[in-house]
Amino acid sequence: MRLILASASPRRRELLAAAGLEFEVVVSPAEEIHDASIPLDRLCEENACLKAEAVARDHPDATVIGADTLVWIAGEPLGKPADVAEARALLRKLSGRSHTVCTGVCLVRPGGSAERFHVLTEVDFRQLDDPAIEDYLTLVHTLDKAGGYAIQEHGERVVAGIRGSYSNVVGLPVDEVVARLFPAGESDCGDGAIGG
């Protein structure tokens, strides 16, 4: 199986590689939609499919993985901060509260059939005072991260606990992706080579 990840995210690349998958990266040219009237879980799936289908058109022989991750709290989506001041405000908003991370995934297979799904993870944030926020901002580049934090980078400083998939919070629910790519009995990871 020829596998393509339609994402520029280094975190998604690392997650797939750690799962033992062989894949190519083709960054999708698709523009994400931002429509507050669409339920956030469906919005994640829609954007994932836009990304995957744009790449699949040029690579019809491959299975293409598209993904989109959103963070929201009390129904309010939290995007990537535009600057450090906005990152600081996001961390204050998350402090001491629980929020939801949703990753929508779209798998477009050879022939054009698309499978879409999403995975939700609940994240509990620590109570953060201003010095803790400033400390975190000096350690982590937050401007390219939804919600202004990265669980895989000094996450113990801001996250108290999660309920659900850890890799989903990083940016891709790897176990679910692998299970859908290779239903029981179809995986050839035992010989160390999935895909090709």
Judge whether 58 counts as a catalytic residue.
Answer: no
Residues in the chain: 196
Q: Which of 35, 41, 61, 68 is catalytic?
A: 68
- CA dist 196 and 191 (Å) reads 12
Whether the CB-CB separation of 60 and 110 falls below 8 Å is answered with yes
Whether the CB-CB separation of 21 and 65 falls below 8 Å is answered with no
The answer for residues whose C-beta is within 8 angstroms of residue 179's C-beta and 6 or more apart is: none
Whether the CB-CB separation of 69 and 101 falls below 8 Å is answered with yes
- The residues annotated with a catalytic role in the active site are 68
